[in-house]
């Protein structure tokens, strides 16, 4: 069954609860206790950033030079995580086969097979794949396979992150966002 995490940018307040929950879920407890909050956030497989783009430079609302397709206003928080694409560029770029699309729709990483070429990082159009702090592997969302609901979704108290299970619902939400200019 296809499952995805959808983001409602209007609800994200940048509290970083999702980052901390993600790091906690994927780090052994004995290691987590020894880390500073900054080090803990570096272990998260997702990130919360703030928009750096002014949305318009004149009355006509034309985009500012360098503006990306998705318009995120300056100072607005937005989560960055793996979109588990239907045709993932990272999987295509992975020469060792360490990245693969699972039956549930998740793009999963096998750390043992990874040769650390970092091609997946360069191929990801969302910037959702990161090098782990020790430089020995990558960090990316795996949809918390041992949990019914991913830790980040559970930790999000504003409802900005929502888990969707149905492929049709994912397609409908994407179509609605596209119709609204998102």
Any domain includes 20: no
Give tens-digit pLDDT for 27-78.
Answer: 877 666 677 777 777 788 888 887 765 544 444 444 444 444 456 777 788 8
Any domain includes 36: no
- Which alpha helices (H) appear in 26-166, and where do they start and end? 29-32, 37-42, 89-93, 119-123, 151-155
Total domains in the fold of the chain:
1
pTM (predicted TM-score): 0.76
- Which alpha helices (H) appear in 101-166, and where do they start and end? 119-123, 151-155
**Cα 173 vs. chain centroid, distance in angstroms?**
17
CATH of residue 109: 3.30.70.20
Place of tokens 């239907």: 86
Any domain includes 107: yes
Give tens-digit pLDDT for 129-162.
Answer: 999 888 888 999 999 999 999 999 999 999 999 9
Place of tokens 């091609």: 119
Structural domain span for residue 113 = 83-140
């Amino acid at each position: 069954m296809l499952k995805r995490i959808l983001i409602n940018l209007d609800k994200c307040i940048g509290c970083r609860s999702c980052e901390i929950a993600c790091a906690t879920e994927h780090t052994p407890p004995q290691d987590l206790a020894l880390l500073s909050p900054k080090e803990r956030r570096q272990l998260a497989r997702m990130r919360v950033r703030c928009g750096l783009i002014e949305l318009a430079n004149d009355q006509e609302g034309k985009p500012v030079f360098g503006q990306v397709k998705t318009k995120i206003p300056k100072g607005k928080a937005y989560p960055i995580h793996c979109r588990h694409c239907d045709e993932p560029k990272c999987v295509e770029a992975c020469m060792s086969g360490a990245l693969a699309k699972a039956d549930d729709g998740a793009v999963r990483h096998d750390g043992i097979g990874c040769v650390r070429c970092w091609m997946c990082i360069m191929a990801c159009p969302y910037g959702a794949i990161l090098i782990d702090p020790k430089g020995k592997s990558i960090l990316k969302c795996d949809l918390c396979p041992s949990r019914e609901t991913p830790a980040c979704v559970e930790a999000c108290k504003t409802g900005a992150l929502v888990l969707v299970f149905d492929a049709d619902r994912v397609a409908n939400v994407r179509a609605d966002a596209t119709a609204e200019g998102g």
